[in-house]
Structure 1
Amino acid sequence: MIAYSEVSAFTDTPGQGNRAGVVLGAQELTEAEMQALAAFLEAPETVFVTRMGGGRVRVRYFTPTQEIEFCGHATVALGLTLAQRGHWTQGDLMLETLVGRIPLSLDTEAGVPTRVWMEQRGLETRPAAREVRRELAEALGVDERMIHRGLPLAAASTGLWSVFVPLLDPLILDGLEPDLHRIHLLSDALGVVSVYAYAPMGVNRFAARNFAPAVGIPEDPVTGSAAGALLALLAREGRLPVRGDRACGVVYQGHAIGSPGEVEVEVTLAGQTVTGIRVGGCATLDREGHWTPGR
């Protein structure tokens, strides 16, 4: 029997934020068994620890339908689970993933772990062709005039590619009626995992919704890796206030589907070049259980 945890990430309220499966003892599981357990849990993503020791943890991530290279909210869920179980007590932790090594750090209060921060990979971007703007708007169920002209519309990645679509305000965002089949086709055509719609709520606060039918997730409640890419993209384009060499912001996601969560992001800059991206969040345990392979 394989022990698993279900953890809500980017929230301190069970059942909100984004649910992740966490399996610490996956050393002997085959790829097919990991996929079967991820499908059984039906969480947007499940993270499997395949090796642990010496300040390093090797992991793999699965959606209910396929393996993916990286997942931000599952990483936060894993970090808090490791800390709460006593596997991570001090110093940084190095996560080994299919996109490379991801350093993790931990915030504590009175010795109690409260928040995990993950260093994301460098920002990569691709421009979106002008004609794609209309197609994206129609796929999201809005008129092209609802797209914000002063914020970047582009594909970006710090590990997973998304196309970021700015909308004029959060009310438009809440009212989206996405055509998931069309979004799937557009995602494939653009070479991205998801279509990530966002809208400004303040100078460094944004609301967001993320649609990823291409990897079996109609709407992801809260997406840490994409929030990091978004804030880095905005900082590089001069759309965030910068103090010294840092720009900070918060992304609110999941409210439209009843699972609100918050992602904190810190971006380090050298001029207009992004030199570092940190994504932070809290997490809380929902429930635990056991699964038997082959059943």
Structure 2
Amino acid sequence: MIAYSEVSAFTRTPGQGNRAGVVLDASALSEAEMRELAAFLGAPETVFVTRMSAAHTGRSTVRVRYFTPTQEVEFCGHATLALGLMLAQSRLWRGEALELETLAGRVPLQLISEAGVPHQVWMRQQRHEVRPVPTSLRAELAEALGIDARMIHRGLPMAAASTGLWSVFVPLVDPVILDALEPDLDRIALLSGALDVGSIYAYAPMGVNRFAARDFAPALGIPEDPVTGSAGGALMALLAQGGCLPVRAGRACGVIYQGHALGTPGEVEVEVEMRGETVIAVHVGGCAVLEREGVWKREGS
């Protein structure tokens, strides 16, 4: 019997934000069993802890793997947030230095508590990377999202970017257009494959450093991801690098609102460290809340 938790990430309200499966002890599970359990839970991603260790330096290390209902992915922001909450609530993490070992690299976590109660988890994401997207694809991306190319914002960056998982970021002129998108998921899956990314992430400005977003990832088995921490970090870094966010004392901060179109609103907080025009670190944080717990019966047990 394998214990699991289902956690709502980037929200304080169960059933909102983005749901993640969390398995704190997957050391005895095979890869095939992880895939089976992830499919059973049906959350956009499930995170599995395959090893925990405490170093003599006082820094704990947790090795993890992430699975969508159909495949393994290198990194997932909202599942990382959910894992941090469950480690804290299970008293396996009391706020000391903690690093996750992921397929994308090492991800340090920070725990914020209020009156001794775990409140927020922050993660330092992987190195920010950017690839250009040909402007000739502007019309094709617009059609895949179900809009006219004139609805794409010309003053904000359209590019592929990653802080652990690649997405193509498509800026729209208004959040109303974002809410009304009728995406062609088959075309989005084909474009994602052609551009070697996990998703097509549409976003629109709501203020100086506030953005609304929707993330379509049919290539990963996720028609629409409710709230996406990895892409949120990559977007804010892309905007900061492009001079589209105010930078004060070497830091640019912002919030992304996602999930409203699915009835599961959530908020992704991002802080980008800058040195001149260069992104040197991306931090993503938010709240999370436990939805339910259960056990999964392994075949033959």
Q: 1:122 aligned to 2:127?
A: yes
Q: CA deviation at 1:70?
A: 0.4
Tell whether the 8 Å contact from 1:8 to 1:77 is kept in structure 2 after alignment.
yes
Structure 2 distance, partners of 1:81, 1:34, is 18
Match of 2:96 in 1: 91
Deviations 1:247-285 (A, max 9, x none): 000000000010100000000000000011000011000
Q: 1:66 aligned to 2:84?
A: no
RMSD over aligned Cα atoms: 0.7
Structure 2 distance, partners of 1:269, 1:19, is 31
Structure 1 distance, partners of 2:23, 2:164, is 22
Match of 1:30 in 2: 30
Structure 2 distance, partners of 1:115, 1:130, is 39
3-state SS of 2:227 partner = coil
Structure 2 distance, partners of 1:20, 1:132, is 33
TM-score where L is the length of structure 1: 0.99
Q: Choose the corresponding residue for 1:277, options 277, 282, 287.
A: 282
Q: Which runs of 5+ in 2 are unaligned?
A: 55-59
Q: CA deviation at 1:90?
A: 2.4
Match of 2:219 in 1: 214
> Aligned runs of 1:96-175 on 2, under 5 Å?
96-175=101-180
3-state SS of 2:248 partner = coil
Q: 1:266 aligned to 2:271?
A: yes
Tell whether the 8 Å contact from 1:10 to 1:17 is kept in structure 2 after alignment.
yes
Structure 2 distance, partners of 1:240, 1:127, is 19
Match of 2:57 in 1: none
Tell whether the 8 Å contact from 1:92 to 1:106 is kept in structure 2 after alignment.
no
1:282 partner amino acid: C
Structure 2 distance, partners of 1:23, 1:145, is 45
Q: CA deviation at 1:92?
A: 2.0
Tell whether the 8 Å contact from 1:232 to 1:267 is kept in structure 2 after alignment.
yes
Structure 1 distance, partners of 2:135, 2:209, is 26
In the TM superposition, structure 1's runs of 4+ consecutive aligned residues that sit over 4 Å from their partners are: none
Match of 1:43 in 2: 43
Match of 2:81 in 1: 76
TM-score where L is the length of structure 2: 0.97
